[in-house]
Amino acid sequence: MFARSLSCAKSATAHVGKYQLRCFSHLPLSVPVKLPNGMEYEQPTGLFINNRFVPSQQHKTFEVISPSTEEEICHVYEGREEDVDLAVDAADEAFRNGWWSKIDPQERGKALYRLAELMERDAELLASIETLDNGKAIANARGDVQLAISYLKSSAGAVDKIDGRVINTGDTHFSYTKREPLGVCGQVIPWNFPLLMWSWKIAPALVTGNTVVLKPAEATPLSALYVCKFVAEAGIPPGVINIVSGFGKIVGESLSTHPKVKKIAFTGSTATGIHIYRNAASTLKKITLELGGKSPNIVFADADLEGAVNNAILGIYYNSGEVCASGSRIYVEESAYDAFVDKLRAASEKLKVGDPFDETTFQGAQTTQNQLSKILSYVDVGKQEGATLITGGERLGNKGFFIRPTIFGDVTEDMRIVKEEIFGPVVTISKFKTLDQVVEMANDTEYGLAAGIHTTNLNNAIKLADRLKSGSVWINTYNDFHPNVPFGGFGASGIGREMGIEALQNYTQVKAVRAKLE
C-alpha cells in the first residue's frame, strides 16, 4: 500500500519512488480538501477520542492517496499501542461510570437516529469523500451512504428488540432473562466499504449500550473520521465512539489482545480473521468475523437471461469487484451457456471504467496498488492454468489503479482462479447439467458467504437454496442488502452476523435471574 508510517520527532520530507512522504511534528487536526467535483471541506486528521480530535502520542502520520490519481490527499495521524490504551480507557470509563449503558434504550435510539440525520444532511459530501478515498464510482458511493444512513435509522428503531423473556418454572420461583451490553467493543473495518462498514459496526454496538474503539482501514480512513464531527451534536457522550487510525499489525493487534476490550468485530480477509480469533481467545472475547468469499452465481436455462446478465454484472463488477460476497463463480446450465456468455461479454465490454467522479462511470479504481497487482497476478495465473480469457484482464491507463472487467471461460474446479478469492472484477464461468451437479460444484469451497440463483422455477430455486452452504442466498437478484436481513457466512466466511436482530445479539450477553417466592 502507499500509506506509509513516518517518525515525527521533527518535520521531515522523504521520497519513495515518485511519491513524496511528509511528516509533521505538528500536523493540523484538520486540513482543507478540494474534491474533483468542486466541493470543498475540512478533513479531520486526528484520532477521535472522548469526542475530540487529538494528535497521536508519538505524532506519527501516514499518507492517504487517491486510487484514481495516485496523488496524495492528505496525511492523518497514526495511532499506536499507547493511543489504543487511551481510547480503550475512555471507552471503559464511559461504559462503567457514564450513563450511556444505563439510560432508557429509546434515548440511545434517538441519538443514533440524529446521527443518521446529520449524515443525511451531508450525504453528497460523504459520497464524494468515499469516491476520493476509495476510488469507487460516485453512483456506488451514493448507494453506500444511503445504506449506511438506513442502517443507522433501522438500528435506532430496534431498541425494542433488546429484551429477555419470562420463563415458566412453576409457582415456587420467578425466572427471567435479560440482555445486557458487553462493555468496550474493538472494531476493525476494511477499505472496500469504509462508511458502510463503519455503520454496520457502530450501530448495533451503540444501540445495545456498548462503547466502541474502531480502527478504520489505513487506506481509507477519511469518511470514518469525518462523520465523527457529528457525534457530539447527535447527543452521543464522550468516550462512546473512539476512532484510532493506524495499521493492523499495531492498532488491530492491540485491540484484539487488550484485556479491557470485551468483544472484537472484524471484517476482512480470512487469514487475518483467523489471527484475530487466536488473539481474542487469550482473553476470551466475544467475536464476530465477516471474512472472505468465493460465491457461486447460478443461472438456469429457464431464467430471464437479460436479467441474469444484469445481476451477474452487479454481482462481480459492482464496487470494482471489491466485495466479499461477489458472485465470482458463475455456473450456467449447459443449454444456455453460449448465449449467456455472449451477452455477458458484450455487456462487460460496454461498461465504462475510469474517472469515478464521472456520472457515467460504472467501475472506478481498485483501492490500492497492492490490490491491483494481486488481481493482475491472478489473470496471469488463469492464463497459465489453461483458462480462456474471454475479455478484459488488462490494466487501463498508466495513472490510477484501473483494470478492465475480466471473464474467464473453460475453467476447471481445481484452478486457483476458481478456488481462491481474487477480490476484483474477475469472474469465471462454468457449465452444469443437473441440479445435483451444480450443488456439488457450488459447495466445493471452504467459503460460504453468499450465492445467487436465477430461474423462473421457484420450486427449483427454493430446493437449491436449501442445499447451498451459504449465509445469504439471493434469488433473481444479487448483492441485494436490507437493514433487517442478517448477513454473514458459513465456514471460512466467518462467525456471527451483521444487520438484523442477529447483530444486536452479537453485542449483548444473557443474564438469567431466578427468585424464590415465599
Per residue in 235-269, pLDDT (tens digit) is: 999 999 999 999 999 999 999 999 999 999 999 99
Q: Which residues contact 476 (CB under 8 A, 6 or more apart)?
A: 303, 304, 307, 311, 453, 454, 455, 461
Sheet holding 166-167, edge to edge: 166-167, 173-181, 508-516
Homologous superfamily of domain range 296-484: Aldehyde Dehydrogenase; Chain A, domain 2 (3.40.309.10)
Q: Do domains 80-291+498-506 and 296-484 have the same CATH topology?
A: no
CA atoms within 13 A on the CB side of 79: 35
Domain boundaries, the chain: 80-291+498-506, 296-484
Burial (0-12, 13-18, 19+ Cβ within 10 Å), 95: buried
Residue whose C-alpha cell reads 442488502 in the numeric block: 481
Give the mean pLDDT of 314-337. 97
**Domain at 80-291+498-506: CATH code:** 3.40.605.10
Per-residue confidence at 25, pLDDT binned at 50, 70, 90? low
Question: Please, where are the H alpha helices in 157-289?
Answer: 194-207, 222-226, 253-257, 270-281
Distance between CA atoms of residues 410 and 337, nearest Å: 11
What is the residue-wise DSSP string for 142-162?
HHHHHHHHHHHHHHHTTGGG-
Residue 28 has pLDDT above 70, yes or no: yes
Residue 16 has pLDDT above 70, yes or no: no
**Is 290 tagged catalytic?**
yes
Distance between CA atoms of residues 363 and 354, nearest Å: 7
* pLDDT tens per residue, range 155-175: 999 988 888 999 999 999 999
Give the mean pLDDT of 450-456. 98
Instruction: List the catalytic residue out of 130, 218, 290, 498.
Output: 290
